[in-house]
Amino acid sequence: MLGVYVHLPFCPYLCPYCDFAKWPMRATSARRYLDALYAEIEREWPAPAATVYLGGGTPNAYDAPAIAQLLARVRARFPGAGELSIEINPELVRAGDFPIYREAGITRISIGVQSFVAGEIETLGRKHTAAQIEEVVALARAARLPSVSLDLMFAVPGQNAQSWRRSLSAAIALDVDHVSAYGLTVEEGTPYAAWRARAPDVFFDDAREAELYALAIELLAAAGYEQYEISNFARPGHRCAHNLNYWANGEYAGLGVGAASYREGVRSLHTRSLEEYAAAALAGRPIPSEAERLEGRRRAGEAMMLALRTAQGVGLSEFKERYGIDVMTDYAPVVARFARTGLLERIGDTVRLTQRGRFLANDVCGAFLTFE
């Protein structure tokens, strides 16, 4: 199956922790960017797709008719998708947006909430209110959008178990279909990195962060959400198929500035320069990109790393068939080390992280990636 990702990089303001390819919304650049995207889409070889995902940036910095037009173009090139998602920023939602999204085929909205607590929302540089989030979920339900997801963030400076519980409980009370809960990562070069250099104690250490992660797992499980990936929780029937395809090491086509693709064993990454991207796309030149072919042990290591993120883990027979690697033999020292320390378990034909292993997933996954 093929997943199609479309990057819409404009935001109404820039959050100080963010490391994505994004720019402040300016009408002229946003219009030119859409033209560039259309030009790139027209050059794509038509192929059936299983999922389409509009991410950003803030896709709904564009108005709903522009989103509908873009989706129509994407779907003409990549027909057949059963799941069409859009990331949205709650305070930009206008009353009539969701019926237009629904009409355009969107089946899933992912709302960038991060927190329901006013002080944390401010610390993160976001501008919405808890009331706006509730309103957006109600609008999505009224428009009968099949899946509503919220993104939440923990280990935010100033947060504690009580305030994190408030955000989780608020999400659960809204009865959303899916919750993504990510720990804050401080990326080099962002204003948050400078803040951490000045005031390291404001930021969470691993142990305190793990306490908040444990609280998320506990509360979401009690409310009937299945943890189907390290950071993702879904009610039955609401897993994100687009992301599941990434974790299954499936193929995806990335359109737009900074977008990544993985097709026929080659991973490529478009330039992160908005000007370079737009100029090349509009002139009909190849988009400047970096590409590498993933082969052999490297390809298998990536696949292990991705599959271990999921609750399902790695299917041993299927893995051997697909990559020619016998996990229990070829990765024997790594498997033995993490099985001994209780982070990895084998159940029948599957190897997966234990509940404890989920807290140290980066260490375990990284070891498979770098094992020679």
Interface residue list for ligand SF4 (CB under 6 A): 11, 14-15, 18, 20, 22, 56-58, 89, 112
Q: Which is nearer to ligand SF4, 153 or 170 (CB)?
A: 153
Q: Which is nearer to ligand SF4, 14 or 47 (CB)?
A: 14
* Least distance to ligand SF4, CB of residue 104, Å: 22
The burial of 209, by beta-carbon neighbours within 10 Å (0-12 exposed, 13-18 middle, 19 or more buried), is given as middle
Q: Which is nearer to ligand SF4, 15 or 307 (CB)?
A: 15
Q: Which is nearer to ligand SF4, 58 or 163 (CB)?
A: 58
* Least distance to ligand SF4, CB of residue 256, Å: 13
- 3-state secondary structure (DSSP) of residue 98: helix
The burial of 369, by beta-carbon neighbours within 10 Å (0-12 exposed, 13-18 middle, 19 or more buried), is given as middle
Which residues are paired to 243 by β-bridges? none
* Least distance to ligand SF4, CB of residue 217, Å: 24
Q: Which is nearer to ligand SF4, 66 or 248 (CB)?
A: 66
Q: What is the dihedral of CA 266, 270, 276, 280, to 10 degrees?
A: 50
Q: Which is nearer to ligand SF4, 11 or 278 (CB)?
A: 11
- Straight-line distance from the first to the last Cα atom of the chain, in angstroms, rounded to the nearest whole number: 30
Q: Are 202 and 157 in contact (CB under 8 A)?
A: yes
Q: Are 228 and 311 in contact (CB under 8 A)?
A: yes
* Least distance to ligand SF4, CB of residue 18, Å: 3
* Least distance to ligand SF4, CB of residue 113, Å: 11
Q: Are 364 and 308 in contact (CB under 8 A)?
A: yes
* Least distance to ligand SF4, CB of residue 24, Å: 9
Closest by CA position to 41, among listed 243, 282, 317, 234: 282
- Dihedral sign computed on CA atoms, order 327, 330, 335, 336: positive
Query: Which position's Cβ is nearest ligand SF4?
Result: 18
